[in-house]
A and B are shown apart, each in its own frame.
Chain A
Amino acid sequence: MDLESLGKEVQLAIQKAASLDEVESLRIKYLGKKGELTKVLHSIGKLPANERPKAGKLANKLKNELGELIKEKKEEIKTHKSLPWEDLSLPGRRPNVGGLHPLSILSHEIQEIFIKMGFSVVTGPEIETEYYNFTALNTPKDHPARDMHDTFYLKDGRLLRTHTSPVQIRTLEKHSPPLRIISPGRCYRVDTFDPIHSPTFTQIEGLWIDKNISMADLFGTLDLLAKSIFGKDVKTEFFPSYFPFTEPSAEMWIQCPFCKGKGCSVCKRRGRIETVGAGMVHPNILESLGYGEFNGFAFGMGIDRIAMTKYDIDDIRLFFQNELQFLRQFDDSKL
C-alpha cells in the first residue's frame, strides 16, 4: 500500500471513531511500535539512497498529521456534553399542507399521459352556443341524438356545454391538421343529484387528426390509456356504439376491478365498466371545416366515473360536498 491511500484510510477511521477506546486502538494499529505506518518508516532504510530523503520526509509528515488528528479527536470526545432527556415521541411541528381534489389528481394524471404521447392541452368556454355544442358536431336541432344530452339553457338562449367537444371545433377552426389535442373541463347535463348522477362532471376529450388513421390506432391509444390509469394488467374490451359526431363509433369497457369480471354491484353484474366513448371523426364534420382529405379519431371520458371506479367511491355527491374527511384521503397528490 502506498502512503497516500494509507493516510486516507486512517483519516477516515479516525473520523468515524466514537469513543476514546476506539481512537486509542487506532493509534496503536497505525502509529504504535508495530503499527503500519511505523513499519513503513522502518522500511525506508531499505530503499535506494536517492529515494530515501523524499520518502522519509513524506512518511514523517503523515505521521505528524495523524498524531495531531488523533489528539484532536480525543479532545473532541472528552469535551462533548451530554444533552438532557427529551421526549422524542412528541408529534412534530408540522407545516400546514393541503391537498388536491381527487378529480384534479386524476385529471392531471390523465393529461400528463397524453402530453407524453404528444397531445396538446386546449381549453374553451363553459357557456357555449347551439352551433359549437351541437350543430357543428353533426347534431342538428331535430336530431333524436339530442336526447343523449339533456341541456341547461341560459335565459339568453346560450347553453352550458354538455361535453368539451366544442373545444375541438374551435381548435380546428384556428389550426389545420395534422394535430393532436385533449380538452379537459367542466360539463353540464340536466340530471338528478343522487349517488350516481350529478348535473356537472369533468370530462377529458381527445382528438387526433392526420392521414390514414384507423380504428386500430384508436383502440391502441385507448388501451394504452387504460393501462396507464388502472395498471398494465387491466383488460379492455371494445364494443360498437353510436355518437352523432363519430362514424364508426365505439366504447371501451374495462374489466371490473372489484369482481375481476365475475359480476358485482359496482358493475351491475356485467363484469365490466364503461369508461370511454370514441370513434372515427364523422366525415361531415371534417368536410365542413375544409379538411376532407384528413381523417382521425376522437374520444371522451367522464373523470368522475373513472375516479369512482379507481378509488372505489360509491356516491358521486362526495366529490361536490368537499368534506375534509373525504379530501384528506387523497393527499398523496403528486406534487
Chain B
Amino acid sequence: MIVNYNWLSEWVDINYSAEELAEVLAKIGIEVEEVEKTHKDTILKIDITPNRGDLLSVIGLAREIAAKTGKKLKKRIEYKLPKVKKEQKINVTVESNEDCPRYTASPLNNIKISNSPNFITERLEKCGIRPLNNVVDITNYVLLETGQPLHAFDFDEIGGGIIVRRAKNGENIVTLEETDKKLSKEDLIIADNSGPIAIAGIMGGFESGITEDTEKIILESAFFKPSLIRESSRRLKISTESSYRFERTADMYMVGYAACYAIKLLEKYANGKIMGKIVDTNPNPKISKKIPFSYSKVNELLGITIEKKKSISILENLGFTVSNKTGDKSEVLIPSHRNDLTIEEDLIEEIGRFAGYDNIPLRFRYSNHKPIWVENREIVEIKKIMVCLGFWEAINIPFIEPYWSSPEKTEAVYLENPMWSEKGILRNSLIPGLLENVKRNLNRGEEIVRIFEVGRVFTKGKEEEENVGGVIGGYTLKNWYENDREVDFYDIKGVVEAFLEEIKVLDYSFQNCKNPLYLEERALSVVSGGKACGTFGLINQEVCKSNVFGFEFCIKKLINSKKEKRFRKTSVFPPLKRDISIIIEKTAPFEKIQTLLDHSTKQKARIKLIDVYHAERIGKDKKSMTIRLEFYNPKKTLTDDEIEGDIKLITKKLESIGAVLRE
C-alpha cells in the first residue's frame, strides 16, 4: 500500500522524517519497503500483512503511529448522518444480513460532474489511482483516507429500489471495465428490478456507472462478508482496491463515517445536495468485543518483565478499554477496526510489539534432550558417496514435459496451473533434468559432465519416492599420462557397481531392462532381493551429439537391500596366480563364465577378467579372453601341485561351453 506523509500528518503529529518513521513502523511490525520523495511530499510504500485490513488507510496508519508515540489523533472519528426534510424515498432490501450486515445508501442530486480539485488528483495519482471525475475521485479519496470502499451509482439508471442479494445462476453483468462477467449464486450482487448493477464490494456495473451527464447519484457505503468477497474476486478474476479491503474485513463503524465524509466532499466539490433520507440497515451495529486477559501471562509468553502499568498504557494507547486494572485477571474491550484480535495471545503480541521486541532477552534452554530420530541420514550418506565417485550435485526444478512420461501418459501427475505450459507434469524420473544440465554444461565448453541429483519423483496413484540419479556425458579428460576417449557403458556400470558396494547393497544381479529412458541393447536393471531397485544404461537421447549414460535408483528400495558386511579373515599368504586365455563365441557373456567358475574349485579362488580382444585372425565371430585365477588359502602358501586339480577342472568346464584354450 502507498501512503502520503503529509496526508498522515493531517491525522497525527509526526516528529520524525519519513526515513525515521519507516524505522519506527518497522519496530511495530509494519514494513516500509520504500521511501520516495516526490514534489512537495514523500510517499511510503508499505507492506501490510493480511491480518491488518485496518492498516490499509491513512487513518489506520495514523492510529498506529499515535499509539506508538503516545499522541492523540488530531481529528475525532465521529459522525452523524445528515437529517433531510425532502423525502426522495429509496428502497433498500438486504436479503441476508449475514452476507451484508450493514448497507447505507445516500441519494444526492444537483451533481455537477467535473474535474476534481488539485489536492485530490495529486494524492490519488501518488497512490497509483487514476483520477476520472470529481464523484469517482471522491469515493476513491475517502477509501484511501478511511479504508472504507464506497461506490456511486447513477440514480437515473436504477429502476426501482436497491436489492442486495445473491446472483442467480446464469445472470451476468457488464462491469465498469466493460467486460461481461457470468455470475453464480456464490456471488453477492447489488441489483435493481431489472438485474445486477454491481458485484458487491468488487466492481460496479457499466450501465449504472457515473458519466458526464450524471445529475443524481446514490452513494453506497457498506460492509460485506469478507470470505464472500474473497471467493467471488478469485472466481471472477477481478481484484480491486475495494475487494482487497473487503476481503481483509472492513470496519462496521467506519461505514457510517466514510459515508458522511464523502457526502461533505460531494457537497463541496461536486455541488451535490442530499435529496432524501439516508438508508442505513444497521445504524447501531454491535462494534466491540471483549477478550479475557491476564497480566501475568504477558511476562510468561514474552519471557520479559513488563509492569502492569506499562501493559495497560499500551492497550489504552491502542484505543482499547481495560476493565480491571488491579487484579491479575482483566477484560479488554476491542474497538470495531481491530477484527484481527480474538484471543489473549493476540493482545500479548500487541503489548510485545509496542514494548519493543528489542527488549525481549535472548535465552537458550540447554537440556539433555537428544535427537530421537534423524530421517535423512541415509540421503546425506548417498550424496557423499556420489561426490567421492566424481559426481557434482545438481538441484533441478521438478517440472518436465509430458513427453517423458509413459506413452499412454496414464502415470503422469499433471499440474493444474503449471509454471511453464510445456512442462505440465511433475517429474517421474531425475534423468530429464540431468540431461538439461549435461546440455548446458557441454555448451559451456565442459569436456566431461558427471552430475547427480537426489530428489523426489512422482507417479500417479503411487506415493512419491526419493530417487538418486546420475549421468555421464562427454569425453574423459586428456592429459599427459592418458589419452581421452568417449565415455561408454562400462563407465556408468563401474559407477553403479562401486555405488552399490559403498552403500552396502551386496547381493544384487543385473537383468535386462525395458525402460524407454534407455536404449534396450545398452541398459540393465539392478535386482536385489528379488526386486528391481534401479536401472542404468545408454540414454535414449543424444545430447549435443554425445552419448549420455545414466542411472537411477529408488533410495528406499536400496536401503531395504542393505546388508551389513561381515568381517572375513585376511590371508597373510600370497595368492598363487594363473592366467588362462581362451577363444570363445563373441556373444558369450563374461557373466556366464564367471558363474560357471565361481565356487567351483577346491582351493578358494578369485576370478578376474584381465583382457578381451577381437581380431581377424581368431575369427570374425570369436573373441579372446584372458582370465586370471588367484588361488589363496588362509592357512598356508599354496604350491603348483595343490592347484593342478583345480586348473584341470576349470579347463574342462570352459571347454564344456565351447571355449578353446590358447597357449
Question: Interface on A for B, CB 8 Å cutoff?
Answer: 90-91, 93, 95-101, 103-104, 108, 111, 115, 118-123, 125-127, 142-145, 147-148, 152-155, 160, 178-180, 184, 186, 190, 193, 198-200, 202, 212, 214-217, 219-221, 223-224, 237-242, 244, 247-250, 268, 280, 282-283, 295, 319-325, 327-328, 333, 335
Contacts and interface: CB of A to CB of B under 8 A. Distances in A.
B562 to A, nearest CB: 19
B421 interface: no
A321 B452 CA distance: 13
A8 B580 CA distance: 54
B391 A153 contact: no
B455 A186 contact: yes
Contact of B395 (A155, A248, A322): A322
A120 B377 CA distance: 11
B362 A223 contact: yes
Interface stretch (B25-33, B133-141, B323-331, B645-653): B25-33
B28 A216 contact: no
A199 to B, nearest CB: 5
B450 A153 contact: no
B415 A214 contact: no
Given A200-B398, A215-B352, A216-B362, A239 B369 contact: no
Contact of A248 (B31, B301, B362, B397): B301
Interface of B: 26-29, 31, 33, 49-53, 226-227, 230-231, 247-248, 300-304, 343, 345-346, 348-349, 352-353, 357-358, 360-365, 367-377, 380, 383-384, 386-399, 413-419, 426, 437, 440-441, 444, 446, 449-452, 455-456, 458, 463-464, 479-481
B478 to A, nearest CB: 12
21 contacts: A90-B480, A93-B481, A97-B387, A98-B392, A99-B393, A100-B393, A123-B375, A155-B415, A186-B456, A202-B395, A219-B357, A221-B364, A237-B358, A242-B50, A248-B302, A280-B345, A322-B395, A323-B440, A324-B446, A328-B392, A335-B387
Contact of B349 (A90, A144, A214, A248): A248
B392 A324 contact: yes
A98 B441 CA distance: 15
B463 to A, nearest CB: 7
Contacts of A198: 397
B303 A215 contact: yes
Given A152-B419, A214-B302, A280-B345, A97 B352 contact: no
Contacts of B383: 100, 104
B373 A121 contact: yes
A199 B397 contact: yes
B98 to A, nearest CB: 14
Given A115-B374, A152-B415, A214-B302, A101 B394 contact: yes
Nearest to B369: A118
Contacts of B449: 324
Contact of B29 (A115, A147, A239): A239
Contacts of A268: 33
A123 to B, nearest CB: 5
Nearest to A126: B456
A193 B383 CA distance: 27
A184 B395 CA distance: 15
